[in-house]
Amino acid sequence: MMKCHRERVLAAVLVTVGIVLILAPSAQAQGCLGPDGLTGACCSLTNASLPPLPPVEFPGTGICWASCGPCANPLDIRYDPPVLVRCGVYDIPVFILAPITGSILSGTARLDYTRTWEEINDDGQSLQVYRFLMKADLVAAGTLVCPIASATEATHFFYGYLDYAFNCASASWEPATALYHSCDVFGHNAATSAVPGPHHPSLSVGIVGPDTPANTFSMTVEMPFSGPAVGGAMRVQTPATASLCNTEEPIAAGGATLGYIGSACACPLGFAPPNIYSAQPFSGTSTCGSSFNSLFPGSPLLWIHTISQSFGRWTGSGPGTPYPGNEKVWSNEGFYAYTEGCTSDLHVDMQYGVLTAEGFTVVPDASRPWQSTQNFIDLASNFSKTSGIVPPFNGVLFETNHLIYANF
């Protein structure tokens, strides 16, 4: 039986860990309230306007869901400065330490930039948030949170996101992150995975942070949002030139819908609480002729459209609460049909990403009027092909071809 240390061996650990927010020079005008340069005509290329990103280090929590029931241990999370690979794409060194056990999870992750927006925190300060989706094959030394290490599983595929929020008043960066490693039925599916199971049939693992006294993370089961999107965008992430990005393709208001079928425990399958997995159809069309539709491929591909897995929520509120405020978070994964409007090519994608909801108040963006709500979905493909669609589809890091992001 794994022992939980949710109490964190309390004050001593918290004082030792702390949270490090790296200051950025305000003279560089880090883009407070400024655009990222990705809007433009259909099927065109553009320069991205993104600031230099600092290293960040902060305390977090490692979550193990055993038969959908959570248990947690404290973590130290460190992201070194991202290194630009091509327009909007970065590599970032990751180092995660479990101080109680001394185990380590480390490697280099791939970051795919999706979008930026403004929020107002509970002190009335303006934050500019830059969202990056993250995918990584990480190496474990020890068992970290769950006994997921395996002699046949040299690396562990994690996916999720990393937000950099620049506080325009204090000229400091405030991070937020969530990463997920799914159970065998998804991550190690015998028919689809590059690392087929069995490895950990009833176990899945999450990493979330920051988790501090100023904004504690709670492993509650949250119902994901659904309904018509107020708007969003799609973007091809494989441009013809490494120095330019494809312009984003807007989704008109009501042009995308995120549905809800139901919730259950998927590892193992059952309908008694806690039902942390939800099945959500998601489809949309851009003003440039691109479209996407989540798929329900059936057995042995056990994804029912988009699978949203609840992590829980941050609980802080009021003055002094750091980013992301009292925000909820879910992981997402699923098979998609994606048609590129500029080429008419139909792709089969494996998409990974996150839902986030609530948190600080979002300020409407004149260049993206739809980006005015607190409910976000952000997805990046990990497998994408027009032909030769054969496994493996998942289980390891592949290139990103398509991005989808919307507000509800």
Residue 59, preceding peptide bond in cis (omega within 30° of 0): no
What pLDDT is attached to residue 20?
Answer: 31
| Residue 16, H or E segment | helix 10-17
Kindly tell me the sign of the dihedral angle through the C-alpha atoms of 33, 77, 399, 256: negative
pLDDT for the residue 5: 41
Strands 282-286 and 306-314: unpaired
Rounded Cα distance between 40 and 247, Å, is 6
CA-based radius of gyration for the chain = 20
Tally of CB atoms within 10 A around 86: 14
**CA quadruple 110, 115, 120, 122: dihedral positive or negative?**
negative
Q: What distance, in Å, lies between the first and last C-alpha atoms of the chain?
A: 41
- For residue 58, the Cα-to-chain-centroid distance in whole angstroms is 17
Note whether 77 and 99 are within 8 A (CB). Answer: no
Q: How far apart are CA 190 and CA 376, in angstroms?
A: 32
Within 8 A by CB and 6+ apart from 401, the residues are 236, 237, 238, 338, 347, 349, 381, 384
pLDDT attached to residue 136: 97
Token pair recorded at residue 22: 């790296």
- Mean pLDDT, each 10-residue run in order, the chain (408 residues): 37 31 32 85 96 97 95 96 97 95 93 97 97 96 65 85 97 97 94 91 95 98 97 94 95 92 96 96 97 92 95 97 98 98 97 98 91 96 96 96 97
Contacts of 385 (CB under 8 A, 6+ apart): 347, 348
CA 94/CA 156 separation, integer angstroms: 13
Whether residue 286 contacts residue 255, with contact meaning beta carbons closer than 8 Å, is answered with: yes
Q: Which residue do the tokens 């830059």 mark?
A: 130
Residue found by looking up tokens 């999706």 in the block: 114
- Planar angle of CA 121, 366, 132, nearest 5 degrees: 60
Structure tokens at 117: 């927006």
Q: What does the pLDDT read at residue 33?
A: 64
pTM of the predicted structure, to 2 decimals = 0.91
User: Within 174-310, where are the H helices?
Assistant: 184-187
Looking at residue 197, what is its pLDDT? 83
pLDDT at 23: 31
What are residue 90's phi and psi, to 5 degrees? -135, 155
